[in-house]
Every structure is written in structure tokens, then in C-alpha cells.
A and B are shown apart, each in its own frame.
Chain A
């Protein structure tokens, strides 16, 4: 099971230049909007034609600009789920699913469709039209329709972007259960770190049309190397390092181990407020206090010029303008390129 992509495509001022080689069952392309994630998916599906490069799926060449190969989307055996699910509005749920059964003859389609409706718990809404069912049901139908083609690879474009967070959570679970039954590979595009962490085994970060290597998700979460990876790992404090090794947060960092580092990143929960003895200890003032539903954060500032630092604390007795000593262990500091 492997997808290999090495393509370039120019669209106006934007140039996409991605190199992706996957190995695990589910891979995420993580990046902000406008980074080129969706274009990459469309190139892999065959909807857009790259300017040059190669796309290979399980030893089958789908696109090769040198050999002038460009397999049409109909024959790529790749499922594609766009953001809005793209259910066909003039067809009911069964008819939509039957569209995914083109490989089979007309007689088989009806019974295969019934099997799928049963398997994914859609029997009750089989006769309804897309505008008559809920967002979650629409997604289940779209996924069922894509799985009906028995694809080798399934492409997801921001499946939850338009949904509110409660529904998102529920759908995430539904999706996980449905995808467990799928043997193919999944490539998933997202700008939401929770989605990526929940659904994917490996991840590749894409920024301004170029990407990092595909890495196991755990490796990125344990040791982020770029700003995007730090965002993915949920690190709140990211600051620049000046030439004199002074970080934006107002403490001196030791850049001996990673001399090329341009940024430092510190998790809010690895900063200690109890004055314990660490390699970095510095004085700050509390400028604000945030009480989240069940968490408690303080926002600290070392001096007038320095950047705010978000610190997690269990101590509920802090007050604004209070002076506080922060300590950070050197192993809790991430150096980013």
C-alpha cells in the first residue's frame, strides 16, 4: 500500500511543488487554507492535471508527464470526498449510492446497494433526497457512495470544516467506525489539529505549496521541527529567536544543539510556576488570567518588549499584576526552523 506523488503545478501566482510518499494506512496533509492541500488532492484524483511530475499508486502509474500518461479520474480507482460532500441533489440516497457501483452490471447494482444501505445504517433514509437529510447523514451517504467503488485510495477534503464542534465530534467517531471497515489507504486534508490527531497515523505538513516529509504522527507530536508542526502538536507559545539568542519571550536560549533554529516553542503546561530550579528561570508579571471550562491559564510578560506567554497552572489564587518566577526545563524547549 503506497502512494507516491511528485508534482508541480502553477495556478496564477501560486506554485505547488509537492513530494509525498506514504506508507501507513492513513496520512494527513496538514496546513492552513491556501497552502495547496486541496489542489494536491484534485491532482491525485485526476480532476486537475499537474504541469509536470509523477503520481504512482500501488505500482500503477496514474500520471507521468515524461511518458505522457494521464489516466482519467474514472479509471484511477480513487475515491474523492470534497468539503461539501457533493451528493447529487436530483437523486435520492439509493440513486446516489448506485452511482458508485458503475463497475457492476445493472442487475447486481440494486442488491449491492441494499447491502451497503444495511451495512452503513442508511436503510431508513434510502428514498430521501440530500436536502431532506442531516449533515451527518449526508456525510455517511457520501462516504458510502465513495466506498461502493472499492477504491484503493480515499481522498478526504476537510470533511468537518463546515460543521459545528459538537456535530464534528460525533461525526469523527462515525467516520472512524466506517473507515475501520475499509482496507484501502486514506489521504486526508485538514487545517484542524484535533481531526488530524484523531484520524491519522502519519502526517505531512504543507506550507505555501511545498511540504515536509511524511512522518509518523507521534514523531511530530513529540518533536516538532517547524511552526506548522508545532501548531499541529498544540503548542501555544511560539516565539522568534534574535541574533543574541534572546527569545521573544524575554529569556536567553541555548542554541548550541540546534544552531539553525529561528523559533522556540514551549507547551503551556511545561512551564513551571513553583519556582523550581531549572536551566531557565526568569521573572515575569501576570497581565491576564483565563479561566477555561476546566483549565486555568495565566498570561505572563517578562518586560514591555517581550511577547505574551501562556502558562497553565493549577493555582487558582494568582492575580493580575502579580510578579511570578517561571522556570522551564531545557528538554521542554523545542527549536524550530
Chain B
């Protein structure tokens, strides 16, 4: 059994989760400080990929990154790089699809932050970046970790947009989800089942991990609650 799809899926998910981790957190942080109208508009825009069908996301991505379109053409002409049909092309698709998950969990976590902590920290002479990394992030740690793990799990399961922008080339762009589809299409059900079991195990482990974080989170909240 060729394990390339497993390796490729995990590679794509890790890279996209890492990028979206920072993008989601900073968007959530700066949107919380934006004027109300901008906040509402950006919130809708950033959450949209969560409810759109992945095929719509894939279609739009091809219309932007494809070799005959806007950015895709520019990259092909300038750097000689085709943005679609590579293993890393799937990163674009998974990034767009998981961004709302990271953004919304980070935003929820930041909203629970007690602003008197940052107010007081400022009067103590602590800088804005110190307050962000040493106070706000640890305070919102559990929420952000849960969001990151959930984003990773969703990236692993991404099929629609990925198959459109990266296609299915065995040993090159194949991921677990596209492999399962391909194996079913050509009637290799027994091999498809093996991949399905692998997929279920990974997802179950991830969900178990999220559960663990959440119980810990509630436990800590109860402790902190007694002093507020």
C-alpha cells in the first residue's frame, strides 16, 4: 500500500494550519478593534467560506490562480511557476476553507479576555506586543489551541476545492480524500476501506484531543471564576 496520500495530506494540513494560525489570530485581533460597520462587513466576508460549497471556493480559486487568469498568469509569466496542479496548490484550497474556523474561534477567545488586565498592564509600563503575547494569548490559549486543532482536522478532510485546484495525480497531488474517491470510482473497495479506517482513526484522535482541551478549559474557568 502506497502511503504517499497520508504523507501528502498531513503535509498540506500542517502548512495551511500554520499559516492560517497567524492569519486568523491577527484578523480576529484587529477586527475586534475596528469600527462597527467594517467589523460587520469583514466578519461576513471572512466567515463566508465556512458556508459556501467547497466547489464554489475551488471554482473561484481556479478563476484567480489558474494559468489563464489574473494572478496565475502573472506567476507563470514572471517566475515560470504554475500555481495549480502541484501538491502545494491544495494548500490554497485548504487555507481558504479552514480560515473561518481559526478566525471565529480566535475571535470568540479574544472576546472573553478581561480588558482591565490589559488596561492595568499598560499603566505598569508593559508594551503592546508584550501584552498581546504574554497576557492575551495565554489567557485565550485553550480557545486558540482548540481552534487550531479543529482547523487541522478540517484541512485533512478537505476534498472539493482541493480536487479542483490540485487534481488527482498518484504520487504527486493525491491526498487521502481524493484517493478514496478515485479507488471507489475504479472499484477497488477493499483498498478504499483501508484509507477510510486510517481517516477515521486520525479524525477520532483529533476530536478526542479537542475534548480533552475543552474539559481542561472549563476546569480552569471555574477556578478563575472564584476570584472574579
List the interface of chain A (C-beta within 8 A of B): 42, 45-47, 72-76, 78-84, 86, 88-90, 99-100, 102-103, 130-131, 135, 138, 145-146, 149
17 pairs across A/B with beta carbons < 8 Å? Answer: A46-B123, A73-B122, A73-B123, A74-B127, A80-B119, A82-B120, A84-B227, A86-B114, A86-B117, A86-B120, A88-B135, A89-B224, A90-B141, A102-B124, A102-B126, A130-B227, A146-B123
Assembly CA distance A82 to B122 (angstroms): 13
Q: Which of B114, B119, B141, B227 has the most CB of A within 10 A?
A: B227
Residues of B within 8 A of A75 (CB): 125
Assembly CA distance A99 to B122 (angstroms): 10
B114-144, CB < 8 A from A: 114, 116-117, 119-127, 135, 138-139, 141
- Cβ contact of B125, chosen from A81, A102, A131, A135, cutoff 8 A: A102
Q: A82-B116, A84-B228 are in contact. Are A47 and B125 (CB under 8 A)?
A: no
Residues of A within 8 A of B127 (CB): 74
The answer to whether A72 touches B122 (Cβ under 8 A) is yes
Assembly CA distance A131 to B141 (angstroms): 17
Assembly CA distance A76 to B123 (angstroms): 8
Q: How close is A19's CB to chain B, nearest CB, in angstroms? A: 23
Q: A86-B116, A88-B117 are in contact. Are A138 and B126 (CB under 8 A)?
A: no
1/0 per residue B98-123: CB within 8 Å of A?
Answer: 00000000000000001011011111
- Cβ contact of A99, chosen from B114, B126, B227, cutoff 8 A: B126
Residues of B within 8 A of A80 (CB): 119-120, 123
Q: A89-B224, A90-B138, A131-B223 are in contact. Are A74 and B117 (CB under 8 A)?
A: no
Q: Look across to chain B and name the residue whose beta carbon is closest to the beta carbon of A138.
A: B227
- Cβ contact of A74, chosen from B114, B126, B135, B141, cutoff 8 A: B126
Assembly CA distance A74 to B131 (angstroms): 12
The answer to whether B119 touches A149 (Cβ under 8 A) is no
B226 in the interface, Cβ–Cβ < 8 Å? yes
Residues of A within 8 A of B223 (CB): 131
The answer to whether B224 touches A131 (Cβ under 8 A) is yes
Q: A130-B227, A131-B226 are in contact. Are A99 and B124 (CB under 8 A)?
A: yes
Residues of B within 8 A of A149 (CB): 123-125
The answer to whether B116 touches A74 (Cβ under 8 A) is no
The answer to whether A88 touches B123 (Cβ under 8 A) is no
The answer to whether B123 touches A47 (Cβ under 8 A) is yes
The answer to whether A86 touches B119 (Cβ under 8 A) is yes
Residues of A within 8 A of B116 (CB): 82-84, 86
Residues of A within 8 A of B122 (CB): 46-47, 72-74
Residues of A within 8 A of B125 (CB): 74-75, 100, 102-103, 149
Assembly CA distance A93 to B120 (angstroms): 16
Q: Look across to chain B and name the residue whose beta carbon is closest to the beta carbon of A142.
A: B120
Assembly CA distance A32 to B215 (angstroms): 41
Residues of A within 8 A of B226 (CB): 131
Q: Look across to chain B and name the residue whose beta carbon is closest to the beta carbon of A86.
A: B120
Residues of B within 8 A of A74 (CB): 122-123, 125-127
Q: A131-B224, A131-B226 are in contact. Are A45 and B123 (CB under 8 A)?
A: yes
What 7 pairs between A and B have smallest CB-CB spacing? Answer: A102-B125, A73-B122, A86-B120, A90-B138, A80-B123, A82-B116, A47-B119
The answer to whether A88 touches B227 (Cβ under 8 A) is no
The answer to whether B119 touches A99 (Cβ under 8 A) is no
- Cβ contact of B119, chosen from A45, A72, A130, A131, cutoff 8 A: A45
Residues of A within 8 A of B123 (CB): 45-47, 73-74, 76, 78-80, 146, 149
Q: Which of A46, A99, A130 has the most CB of B within 10 A?
A: A99
Assembly CA distance A100 to B138 (angstroms): 19
Q: Look across to chain B and name the residue whose beta carbon is closest to the beta carbon of A47.
A: B119
1/0 per residue B52-83: CB within 8 Å of A?
Answer: 00000000000000000000000000000000
B136-183, CB < 8 A from A: 138-139, 141
Residues of A within 8 A of B119 (CB): 42, 45, 47, 73, 80, 82, 86
Residues of A within 8 A of B141 (CB): 90
The answer to whether A146 touches B224 (Cβ under 8 A) is no
Q: Look across to chain A and name the residue whose beta carbon is closest to the beta carbon of B117.
A: A86
Residues of B within 8 A of A46 (CB): 122-123
Q: How close is B69's CB to chain A, nearest CB, in angstroms? A: 47
Assembly CA distance A102 to B134 (angstroms): 14
Residues of B within 8 A of A42 (CB): 119
B185-228, CB < 8 A from A: 223-224, 226-228
Assembly CA distance A130 to B116 (angstroms): 15
Assembly CA distance A130 to B120 (angstroms): 15
Q: Which of A83, A84, A138 has the most CB of B within 10 A?
A: A84
